[in-house]
Amino acid sequence: MKKSILLSLSLLLYTGCTGVSNSENISAISEKSAEMQSLESALNAYSDATINNDVTELLSFVYPKVFTLISKTRMEQTLRRVYASKKAPNITNIEHKHISSIMPYDKGLYSVINSKMTMKLKSPVIDNDKFEELLFDKLKSQMGTDAEITLNKSKHIFTVKKNSQIIGIKEGSDGWKFVGYEQAKKYASRKIIPESIMRNLK
C-alpha cells in the first residue's frame, strides 16, 4: 500500500513540474507498462520452453537472424537429437535478475535481460572419481570464471549456475524475440544483432 501511495505522489509531482498534461503522461506510462508486460510475458514463455525442452515453442521466440547461421529446420533437428540423447545438461531454472528499460532503435525496440541459469548434468561415468574431477575442471574451463559449479558425489550430478545476458528485440508486429549477447558478439561480422543496438551495448 505504501509503495502505491509513493508512486502516485511521484507521478503527481512529475506531471505537475512539466508542461505536459496529466492525461498524456498517464497514457505514455500505460503504454510503456503494457510493453514491459508484453516483454515479460514473452520472456517467461521463452524460459519455460527452454526448461521444458519444448523445441517448437523455443524456436518461435528465437530472433530470426539467428537462422542465417543455421537454418531453423537444422536447428530443430539438432535440438531434438540432443534432447533425445539425454546427454545434454538439463536446465532446471532461469532467474531473471534484471530487465533493462525498453529502448527504441531504428527498426523497433530492444531490452537487455541479465539472468542466472541453473543446469544439472548427470556424469556419464559413475564411480570414477578421477573422471569426475576431470569433467569438473573441463566444465569450469568451458563455463567461465563467473560460473558456480558443484558436484553431488553420491548422485553423480553436476550443478552449474551461470550468469547470462540476452537481448530482447521487437520489430513490427512480430512480438518479442531473443538472442544471446555473447553469441551475437561471437558472430559480429554476420550482424546478428542490428548494428544500432550493438553500438549502444558497447
What architecture (CATH level 2) is domain 22-201?
Roll (3.10)
**What integer pLDDT is reported at residue 25 of this predicted model?**
42
The cell for 72 is: 531453423
- Please answer whether residues 43 and 168 qualify as being in contact, where contact means their C-beta atoms are separated by less than 8 angstroms: yes
Position of cell 544500432? 196
Q: Please list the residues that pair with 109 across neighbouring strands.
A: 104, 170
Sign of CA dihedral 78, 80, 86, 90: positive
User: pTM to 2 decimals?
Assistant: 0.76
Q: What is the mean predicted confidence (pLDDT) over 140-162?
A: 88
Q: Please list the residues that pair with 180 across neighbouring strands.
A: 166
Q: State the Cα–Cα distance between residues 90 and 186, nearest whole angstrom.
A: 24
**What integer pLDDT is reported at residue 85 of this predicted model?**
82
* Among 1-15, 96-110, 116-130, 150-164, the least confident range: 1-15
Asked if the model's pLDDT at residue 96 lies above 50, the reply is yes
Q: Is 118 helix (H, G, I), strand (E, B) or coil?
A: strand
Backbone angles phi, psi at 82, to 5 degrees: -65, -45
Q: Is 155 helix (H, G, I), strand (E, B) or coil?
A: coil
- Give the helix/strand (H/E) hosting 150: strand 148-152
